[in-house]
A and B are shown apart, each in its own frame.
Chain A
Amino acid sequence: MIVVESLTKLYGTTTAVDAVSMVVERNSITVIVGTSGSGKSTLLRMINRLIEPTSGRVLIDGRDTGSEPGYQLRRRIGYVIQGHGLFPHRSVAENIGTVPRLLGWEEDRIRARTAQLLTALQLDPGAYADKYPHQLSGGQQQRVGVARALAAEPALLLMDEPFGALDPIIREKAQDDLLDIQRKFGTTIVLVTHDIDEAFRLGDRVAVMSEGRLLQYDRPEVLVTRPANPLVARMTGSAERAMRLLSLTTAGEAALPWTGSDGAADGPVVPTSASLREVLSELLWRGSECATVVDADGKPHGRLTVAAILARGRPA
């Protein structure tokens, strides 16, 4: 658990971050969203002390981050930045082994961990370990950046616009991969983005920042249904809020009990992981009234009618 206590950063007379307090739960993804200049990156960098706060403090699992040299703290915290920042003069394996080497791991352990991470990120260790960053595509470079940040098994991973340099199609895939990785390693993630869609897609909790202040910090559906102020409402997009709400719920969660194939016989078949927004879109496209929801094994899980979906697009 990370506790941020009235963290403030002043540059001369300008306040970059203004007394922000928040609590980040273990094993969750917290997204800090805001426009440029909102102080979101500064806040993130004060967590690993790349920027020293003017006042306030950060506790990670009860321990004050100010109690040890910054570089030692940072070896226990993963860090991913926009444009990956891979070392161009080092191979993929050497890049990934950076923090373990700083921590003095044995070479065998580093090699095993590197192979494990490359495999988890869908890069064949045999083919990629000895390549250099310039030989990889943008998406691959980004994945190696994530692998490097996770190499020393950090409990906390900080990401600053990690997908900002990727084109939209690769970005979606990278976001899915991040969710998989988070589930697999149980890492606590704090991610900064200016993209509200990305925030809603990834965040268990979303923090909205503007002009150095934390405007609202809550579950995404609360941000949509009960925005704390007009700025949050504008950022979450009032015109689209019903669709946003639908995209936050999966078909599996909303499915009506399975009562046999009545009425759903010629409707579409959707997986439990699909969002209601996707199911609704599919139903509209086909002109059907009812979809069959199937689990990962292809067994019927339930059904979803247009009416049931629409009911979910209204604040409870």
Chain B
Amino acid sequence: MPRPATILRLAALGLLLAFLLAPQHFAPVFAPLTAGGAPPIYDQGNLAMLALSHLATVLVACLASTVIAVALGILVTRPGGQEFLPLSRAVVNFGQTFPPVAVLALAVPLLGFGEKPTLIALFLYGLLPIFENTVVGLRTCPAAVLEAASGMGMSARQRLVSVELPLAMPLILEGIRISLVINIGTATLGSTVAAKGLGEVIIAGLLSNNTAFVLQGGLATGLMAVLLYDAVAAVERRLYRTARID
């Protein structure tokens, strides 16, 4: 007998897939929100394709954030790299506090409309949680464990790869999870500069004063964020199960 949480997850996934693949079946639900014979379901593009490219944009940006943030996190926790910590922190904080909309506005003249400005905005926005969690994860490895690793003859690289990173992994994953969820929402802004994504539905709704569209775009994005959050959390739990890291 599956647990209630599992049933809830499967139901959410089923609902999202059903809506993306056969949105017309949901017309009666959204019809009361429309006025003056406006279409109740978004009809200017394929919802499933929009959702896929939305997800792809977020995943690509997040992969880039992860690579850079983890590399920076490793660098500033090495003996020779500690002096770079304030600088690195300033850079990733800037990425987080500089509004993504402003990044888009600045990037469009340089890169043109489309996916690229969005990727850059999401990349910058996603750095901070991953970087901070990587730093904390690497710094909180128990001193006795690190000393044992060196005492047994691991080189600095071996110690990093086979002890420090595995021990920091749950925290790093948590950072990635936070970054992913933030960016699923933030990516809707990309549609203002013609990136393909669920933001298109929301913007179309705003332009034509159609609440049904806005709600569809918002709900689909939200469901996707919740499911993704849950999936990464499941991976984290698997890691925790094999080795309890106190």
A residues at B contact (CB < 8 Å): 48, 50, 71-76, 79, 81-90, 98-99, 102, 132, 134, 145, 148-149, 158
Contacts and interface: CB of A to CB of B under 8 A. Distances in A.
Q: Which of A74, A81, A83, A89 has the most CB of B within 10 A?
A: A89
Given A71-B154, A74-B151, A102-B152, 7 more contacts: A71-B155, A74-B153, A85-B149, A88-B142, A90-B243, A132-B242, A148-B148
B245 interface: yes
B224 interface: no
Contacts of A48: 151
Contact of B145 (A88, A102, A132): A88
B158 to A, nearest CB: 7
A103 to B, nearest CB: 8
Contacts of B148: 79, 81, 84-87, 145, 148
Given A50-B147, A85-B142, A86-B145, A102 B167 contact: no
B150 A81 contact: no
Main secondary structure of the interface of B (DSSP, over half): helix
B114 to A, nearest CB: 43
B152 A75 contact: yes
B144 interface: yes
Contact of B244 (A76, A84, A85, A88): A88
B166 interface: yes
A99 B149 CA distance: 10
Contact of B150 (A74, A83, A90, A148): A74
Contacts of B153: 71-76, 99, 102
B64 interface: no
B163 interface: yes
Contacts of B242: 89, 132
B181 to A, nearest CB: 26
B152 A81 contact: no
25 contacts: A48-B151, A50-B151, A71-B155, A72-B153, A74-B152, A75-B152, A76-B153, A81-B147, A84-B144, A85-B145, A85-B147, A86-B148, A87-B148, A87-B149, A87-B163, A88-B167, A88-B246, A89-B166, A89-B167, A89-B242, A99-B152, A102-B153, A102-B158, A134-B244, A145-B148
Interface string B224-246: 00000000000000000011111
Q: Which of B152, B163, B167 has the most CB of A within 10 A?
A: B152
Q: Which of B142, B151, B155, B166 has the most CB of A within 10 A?
A: B151
Nearest to A145: B148
B93 to A, nearest CB: 31
Given A89-B242, A89-B243, A102-B158, A83 B151 contact: no
A46 to B, nearest CB: 13
Nearest to B159: A71
Contacts of A82: 144
Nearest to B144: A85
Contacts of B243: 88-90, 132, 134
Contact of B151 (A72, A76, A81, A90): A81
A2 B120 CA distance: 60
A164 to B, nearest CB: 11
Contacts of B147: 50, 81, 85
A81 B167 contact: no
A79 B144 contact: no
A149 B150 CA distance: 12
A163 B148 CA distance: 15
A75 B244 CA distance: 27
Nearest to A132: B243
The 9 closest A-B pairs by CB, nearest first: A85-B148, A75-B153, A79-B151, A89-B243, A85-B144, A74-B153, A83-B144, A134-B244, A71-B153
Contacts of A99: 152-153
A81 B142 CA distance: 13
Interface string B182-215: 0000000000000000000000000000000000
A67 B169 CA distance: 36
A74 B158 CA distance: 14
A48 B147 CA distance: 12
B246 A98 contact: no
A86 B155 CA distance: 17
Nearest to A148: B152
A102 B159 CA distance: 11
A81 B150 CA distance: 12
Contacts of A102: 152-154, 158
Nearest to A149: B152
A84 B144 CA distance: 7
Contacts of B246: 88, 134
A48 B148 CA distance: 12
Contacts of B245: 88-89
Contacts of B244: 88, 132, 134
